Structure 1
Amino acid sequence: MSESHAVRDRVLTVGVAVARSGRLASLGDPLDFALTWLEPKLAGRGPAGYSMRLVSRDTRSCAEGARQAVEELVGQENAAIVVTLAGTEVLPAVADACEAAGVPCLSSTFPWQVYYYGRGADDDRPFDWTYHFCWGLDDIAGVFADLWERVDGSRQQVGCLWNDGPQGMWSRHPQRGFAPVARSRGHRLVEPEPYREPATTFDAHVKAFRDAEIDIVTSAATGRDLALFRARAAEEGRQPRLITCSRWLAYPPSVIREGTPPAQAGVGTLAYWTPAHPYRSSIDGMTAAELADTYEQATGRQSLQPLGLAYALFEVATHALTTAGDPTDRRSIATALGRTKLHTMAGLLDWTRGPVPNIATVALAGGQWQPGTRHDYELAIVTPGQVDGLSVTGDLVTA
């Protein structure tokens, strides 16, 4: 064996599929930051006799770019494992490409039902190579119901602003979506026909919500579409007392940049990682608050929730490589992922308990975008939800 091949065989490569161009580039910032920050720390943390390196490829914010990124990471860089996050089309494309190539993949920031069932797995036929950690649509519904019930302490009629894409389709799925859990809590959902994204009008929704005297609206809209709905409702003299929204509205105004005040103003959303979360990295002991502060000082930008999950991707990948029976064998690495139970920057991630194979869940709290002290709007924790030890940092404010 040549010296160059011997050296390569002693290096374990973590491939990173990350959006550095296109519409998801801002959501790629946390993953790119975590890669840059952790690379020197991980170099010496491989299993005995091995070093680690991190190599990235740009997904270009599209499915085609995602597939090409995987091809290059596997074919050119000999990636032992690929990590990624974010993107309704991009994340599944990365995972599917890894499944086809026979290389372990770890991903996050995508409701697990959409990732799992939406990609064709079922309870009896899981994936071979692809693993994921995230919350579920049922978890979002539970957190949002907590917020709705704080409006006046009772069950509510809730207007649903669903699009006709995967977000809306899975949210209203009769068995595996958001809607069944919301209804099981005693809430009545008013669901007009889904709208095509990007929306051009919300006249039918505004009328339906007006006729039903809706005070609470929930959605997974983009910032642009939510701003359009709010403007149209205001023209009709309607102002919901509370709007809850996931997806893009979980990110700060600096990411979306829609309107003044921003689309996030007063919106209740899921809180899966904030500086207030009582989490600590398994790699360097850094706390959530320290990571958020480090990111803001280094980039000059407000931290956003995927930062904690991006950090955890590298923690879990490192753990899998160091606990695999043979870190040069991809099947051994995949097996190690499936038995991982690890406290990380994203909380406890446990693949041994499901809810289905290949999935670990992330605990959710309830947040609301409120005027801040360091930034124009900050995500206040208004209910701790499923997160043990998380302190409330603000009261829910309604119109």
Structure 2
Amino acid sequence: MQPTEGERRTRLTIGVVAARSGRLAKLGDPLTFVTEHLRRRLRHVVGQGGRYELELVSRDSRSDPEVARRVTEELIRHERADIIVTLAGTRVLPAVADVCEALATPCVTSAFPWQVHYFGRGATRTRPFSWTYHFCWGLDDIAAVFAEMWAVLGAERRVGCLWNDGPQGNWSRHRERGFLPAAAARGHFLVDPGGYREPATAFDDHITAFRDADVEIITSAATGADLARFRHQAARRGLRPRLITCSRWLAYPVDGTGADDPAEAKVASLVYWTPRHPYRSSFDGMPAADLAAAYERATGRQWLQPLGLAHALFEVAVHALATADDPTQARAVAAAIGRTRLETVAGPLDWTTGPVPNVATVRLAGGQWKRGTRHPHELAVVSNSHCPGLRLEADLEFLH
């Protein structure tokens, strides 16, 4: 019901777009959990003008960008969402953000390299977005962490690039803003045979190029299925890299045995959130370990890295509503996000010093899948120079 002229609004709404079904459901699971976990705890916001009731309203994107557009518009037009939050994939997340930009609604997103989100959607350093804000690591941050791990084998390594022909692959190879220039600046030589279409069937050209270049390291942003397929085909043709670094096989504990066992494959990846991170919620001081434990108790499943980011989305949204000059006015809420500096359970987030407007960065460490004690596979921290306060847990291991 719309308030009458002059009547003060007393209710605020956070709209949530989560992939509860479809291929991204595992990524959407932490956001769904956090939404329900906080629904009982976030009943009110105290902001400029007084105390407001707070409602969290969620919609399923079904892992489909067209559905994501439709439900985002529903949240804005019918549920009167004051701010939208989402974690999504390479096609779904931009769909949500683009609707919010078009309908002048503040939006906070995460779990997507910021260059792909920002430049890939058409913004520039001098022409930022008006309504959509993001926090995540960058492709250059991935390159820095991976290059540090490659250097354990020695300086100036030859690295084969297993990148797709989609947004993440194309931006990774961007000559100015991607992974490639950041890694090359550290003295490494990258071999990029070109992009492959997902899902992949054969990697013959890549394997030939890597063998001809005598690479010892493969770096990738492949799906778990495509990476396993590449490893099988490479082994049959005698290509046995000593290390694989993969920025996409990172968020989830991977079920695998034999050649598909991530511990046996010595796959190294990114670490952006664990129960061991020294971070706490801005709501109540809850440590990262307690959030992971609550997730495991409620779901019976192993914690996932996006869990910390999912919780931080709500921390940022509530902070913006509480500090906006008028939380019922979209422009004021967007401005509040843009000046946010906040310690969250995902770490410190600062939009005032971001690499570009609309973006705050997340700290990264290097990790490697190991056989676990509490869980079949656990991601151990093997490189921490870019993440102060996070202790090393294991040595980086190599094949043969």
| Length-normalised TM-score, structure 1 | 0.95
C-alpha separation in 1, matches of 2:375 and 2:131: 41
Query: What is the aligned partner in structure 1 of residue 157 from structure 2?
Result: 156
Counterpart in the other structure of 2:237: 236
| Deviates further, 199-208 or 328-337 | 199-208
Q: Secondary structure at the match of 1:20?
A: coil
Residue 62 of structure 2 corresponds to which residue in structure 1?
60
Give the whole-Å Cα distance in 1 for the aligned partners of 2:29 and 2:345: 17
Q: 1:173 to 1:258 in 2, by over 3 A?
A: farther
What do residues 112-137 of structure 1 show as CA deviations (whole Å, max 9, x unaligned)? 10110000000110001000000000
CA shift, 1:5, in A, is 11
CA contact 2:136–2:361 (8 Å) conserved in 1: yes
SS at match of 2:319: helix
State the partner residue of 1:306: 306
Distance 1:6-1:293 versus aligned 2 partners, 3 A rule? farther
The two structures have a TM-score, normalised by structure 2, of 0.95
SS of the aligned residue for 2:40 comes to: helix
Output one character per residue of 1:45-86: Cα deviation in whole Å (capped at 9) or x when no partner: 443321111000111111111111111111111100000012
**Residue of structure 1 equivalent to 2:260:** 261
Alignment of 1:78-93 (within 5 A): 78-93=80-95
Q: Contact 1:223–1:258 at 8 Å: present in 2 too?
A: no
Q: Give the Cα–Cα distance (whole angstroms) in 1 for the partners of residues 124 and 106 of structure 2.
A: 19
Q: Deviations over 1:295-327 (max 9, x none)?
A: 111101111111000000000000000000101
> Taking structure 1 as reference, are residues 69 and 7 closer, same or farther at Cα in structure 2, changes over 3 Å only?
farther
RMSD value, Cα:
1.9
Alignment partner, residue 351 of structure 2: 351
Aligned to 2:385, the other structure's residue is in SS state coil
- The question of whether the paired residues in 2 share the 8 Å contact of 1:46 and 1:318 is answered with no
Question: Offset of 1:200 from its aligned partner?
Answer: 1.0
The number of equivalent residue pairs is 396
**Residue 234 and residue 260 in structure 1: after superposition, are their counterparts in 2 closer, same or farther (change >3 A)?**
closer
5 Å matches for 1:36-185? 36-47=36-47, 48-150=50-152, 152-185=153-186
Unaligned ranges ≥5, structure 2: none
Is the CA contact 1:11–1:51 (under 8 Å) kept in the aligned structure 2?
yes
Identity over aligned residues, as a percent?
62
* CA deviation after TM superposition for structure 1 residue 6, in Å: 11
Q: What 5-or-longer segments of structure 1 have no aligned partner?
A: none
Shift of 1:251: 2.2
How far did residue 222 of structure 1 move? 0.6
Instruction: Tell me which residue corresponds to 2:247.
Output: 246
| Structure 1 consecutive aligned stretches of length 4 or more whose deviation exceeds 6 Å | 1-8
Q: Please give the alpha-carbon distance, in whole angstroms, between the structure 1 residues aligned to 2:169 and 2:2.
A: 55
The letter for the 2-side match of 1:167 is Q
Q: Does 1:200 align with 2:215?
A: no
**Partner in structure 1 of residue 360 of structure 2:** 360
Amino acid aligned to 1:226 = L
Aligned partners of 1:46 and 1:52 also within 8 Å: no
Residue 328 (structure 1) shift: 0.6
Query: Would you say 1:382 and 2:393 are equivalent positions?
Result: no
Q: Distance in 1 between matches of 2:308 and 2:8?
A: 31
Alpha-carbon distance, 1:2 to partner: 9.3
Shift of residue 3, structure 1, vs aligned partner? 9.3
Question: Match of 2:357, as an amino acid?
Answer: P
Q: How far apart are residue 143 of structure 1 and its match?
A: 0.2
Which runs of structure 2 are paired with 1:320-339 in the superposition (5 Å)? 320-339=320-339
- Partners of 1:7 and 1:296 lie apart in 2 by 44
